[in-house]
Amino acid sequence: MERGLGYVATGSTDTAATLLRTSPWGRSLWITERAWTPPAGDVLRVTTIPRVGGTVDPKRLGDLRAAAAAFLGKDGGGLVVLDCLEYLVLHNGPDRVARALADIHDEISTRGGTLVVLIDPRSANPRLAAWLAREFDPLSVSAADLGPARAGGALTA
């Protein structure tokens, strides 16, 4: 993975978590609607349930861009993983989410960060999946890339 690029990946969240642990970046932000905690980095929960800090409403897509910018800060650099694509589409529609992802990617790229969008091909909107395949590089991590002690599945694009 290179700084300033965006990647699209399919696979389990366990394997993506392994990717975070083996990432060359010291900092990461995991944007998710899931109730689990990634093994490394900061977490931003996307939920309709109002909570104190660390959450954002799925209908407020601009807040995701602001959160990524705040995370990367002035120094830039870092990995941002978006693991709630289908949830965002449910609340906003595929066209609005595609525009928001383009904005988020631009923000992250200009700050020297890297964006990884996790997608479930079984439930993803076909038009949005095709757009992601055109706009983002495929990310493929095999068990061999992760090493024998870390291999728990394959993350493929």
pLDDT in tens, 108-139: 988 888 898 988 878 888 899 899 999 998 88
Query: Residue 41: its pLDDT value, please?
Result: 78
- For residue 116, the cross-strand partners are 7, 81
Query: Residue 102: its pLDDT value, please?
Result: 94
The mean pLDDT of 90-107, rounded to a whole number, is 93
pLDDT at 57 over 70: yes
Radius of gyration (Cα) for the chain, nearest Å?
Answer: 15
CA–CA distance, 43 with 125 (Å, rounded to integer): 25
pLDDT in tens, 1-43: 677 788 888 766 665 666 666 566 678 888 988 877 766 678 8
Query: Residue 42: its pLDDT value, please?
Result: 85
CA–CA distance, 23 with 134 (Å, rounded to integer): 24
